[in-house]
């Protein structure tokens, strides 16, 4: 079976970590590199977390370090969700050997330029690294088949009333990506808030050996934030897993193509993904917006991959 060649850009972060577990354990993706971006935490921390996760899962992947801040603003992180380390409470080794430092933009250029096949980008953090690549290497864009993002929402936000966190973190970068001409798949809150792993499933996952214990510990720590909310989820929306899940099996999602603009000026609407549902602007459709997911199949996909690489008991 031919594997899909991907580069992942992420900011781990609890739900990024679960998405990485799915990406690294499955055999349908050929992961050419994983880059860290500033987002849930500073890029120093997300980069280190990314290396910790790959080490823990025993995966030798090329890793790049992204830029330290959004294009035109300062980083406003999500430590209220992911803690001061980005993975608070997750007990995997911290004392690790760092790889040779490569910048995310060099990593992307090198892989995309030399690949004989088109590359899929999976972006599950703010889009700063991807936008910088687009600005710097416009001639390489026809070598990218899709950019699958976790970001945005066709209705309300989670960072502000209008905007989702990843887009709000760097709306100017998101605008560059959405206007790049490369097909964008938007796995936004419409679908990611339906991608719940229920509290009742945490224990089942914890029983799946070393990697299951690891995943369960991530989910339990992530849940601490959701337990503080008025809105009850009875579990955690594992936002970032949708973008990886779509790359593995798009048939479990439903979506539709629209023209989507990014609001970069509005006082109350900065970072909003404005979906032109009724084609008022008569602009070309640039984004496939995902609206539905078969949650059970998505969670089963994760559980099956964890089961398939069952290791010794997690050292919590
Ligand atoms: C997004 O924001 C981040 O906190 C998560 O990792 C996810 O990528 C959800 O809005
Ligand atoms: Ca993320």
Question: For 40, how many CA atoms within 13 A lie in the half-sphere containing its CB?
Answer: 29
Reading the block at residue 292, the tokens are 């539905």
Chain mean pLDDT for the chain: 96
- Give the pLDDT mean for 61-76: 96
pLDDT digits (tens, 9 = 90+) for 223-282: 999 999 988 888 899 999 999 999 999 999 999 999 999 999 999 999 999 999 999 999
Q: What is the pLDDT of residue 227?
A: 94
CA–CA gap between residue 270 and residue 266 (Å, rounded)? 5
Cβ atoms within 10 Å of 292's Cβ, excluding its own: 12
- Give the pLDDT mean for 151-177: 98
Q: Taking a C-beta distance cutoff of 8 angstroms, is the pair 131, 177 a contact?
A: yes
Q: Which ligand is nearest to the CA of 237?
A: 1
pLDDT of 312 over the 60 cut: no
CA–CA gap between residue 239 and residue 16 (Å, rounded)? 8
pLDDT of 27 over the 70 cut: yes
Would residue 80 show up in a list of annotated catalytic residues for this protein?
Answer: no
More confident residue, 1 or 223: 223
Q: What is the pLDDT of residue 231?
A: 85
Residue at token pair 């990593």: 107
Establish whether residue 16 lines the binding site of ligand 1, counting it when its CB lies within 6 angstroms of any ligand atom: yes
Establish whether residue 240 lines the binding site of ligand 1, counting it when its CB lies within 6 angstroms of any ligand atom: yes
Establish whether residue 81 lines the binding site of ligand 1, counting it when its CB lies within 6 angstroms of any ligand atom: yes
Angle 281-287-291 (CA atoms, 0-180°, nearest 5)?
A: 105
Domains, the chain, ordered by start: 4-307 (3.90.245.10)
Q: Taking a C-beta distance cutoff of 8 angstroms, is the pair 9, 124 a contact?
A: yes
What is the value of pTM for the model shown? Answer: 0.96
Cβ atoms within 10 Å of 181's Cβ, excluding its own: 13
Helix axes 209-226, 199-206, angle to 10 degrees: 160
pLDDT of 195 over the 80 cut: yes
As a whole-number percent, the residues of the chain with pLDDT over 90 amount to 94
Q: What is the pLDDT of residue 310?
A: 59
Residue at token pair 């987002």: 39
- Give the pLDDT mean for 209-235: 94
pLDDT of 309 over the 80 cut: no
Q: Which ligand is nearest to the CA of 239?
A: 1
Q: How far is the CA of 280 from the centre of ligand 2 (A)?
A: 32
- Give the pLDDT mean for 86-103: 94
- Give the pLDDT mean for 92-120: 96
Establish whether residue 124 lines the binding site of ligand 1, counting it when its CB lies within 6 angstroms of any ligand atom: yes
């Amino acid at each position: 079976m031919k594997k899909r060649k991907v580069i992942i850009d992420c900011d781990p972060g609890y739900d990024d970590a679960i998405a990485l577990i799915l990406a690294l354990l499955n055999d349908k993706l050929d992961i050419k590199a994983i880059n860290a971006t500033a987002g849930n935490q500073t890029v120093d921390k997300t980069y280190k977390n990314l290396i910790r996760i790959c080490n823990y899962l025993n995966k030798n992947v090329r890793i790049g370090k992204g830029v330290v801040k959004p294009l035109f603003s300062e980083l406003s992180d999500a430590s209220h969700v992911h803690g001061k380390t980005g993975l608070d409470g997750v007990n995997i080794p911290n004392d690790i050997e760092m790889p040779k430092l490569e910048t995310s933009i060099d990593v992307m250029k090198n892989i995309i330029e030399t690949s004989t096949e088109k590359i899929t980008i999976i972006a599950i953090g703010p889009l700063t690294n991807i936008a910088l690549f687009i600005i710097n290497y416009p001639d390489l864009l026809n070598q990218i088949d899709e950019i699958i993002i976790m970001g945005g929402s066709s209705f309300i936000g989670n960072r502000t009333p209008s905007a989702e966190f990843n887009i709000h973190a760097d709306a100017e970068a998101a605008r560059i990506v959405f206007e790049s001409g490369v097909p964008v798949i938007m796995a936004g809150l419409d679908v990611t808030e339906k991608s719940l792993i229920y509290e009742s499933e945490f224990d089942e996952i914890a029983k799946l050996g070393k990697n299951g214990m690891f995943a369960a510990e991530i989910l339990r720590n992530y849940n601490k934030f959701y337990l503080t909310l008025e809105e009850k989820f009875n579990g955690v929306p594992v936002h970032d897993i949708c973008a990886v899940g779509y790359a593995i099996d798009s048939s479990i999602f439903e979506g539709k193509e629209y023209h989507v603009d990014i609001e970069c000026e509005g006082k109350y609407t900065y970072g909003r993904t404005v979906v032109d549902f009724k084609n008022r602007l008569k602009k070309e459709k640039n984004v496939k917006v995902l609206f539905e997911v078969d949650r059970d199949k998505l969670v089963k996909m994760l559980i099956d991959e964890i089961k398939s690489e069952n290791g010794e008991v997690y050292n919590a």
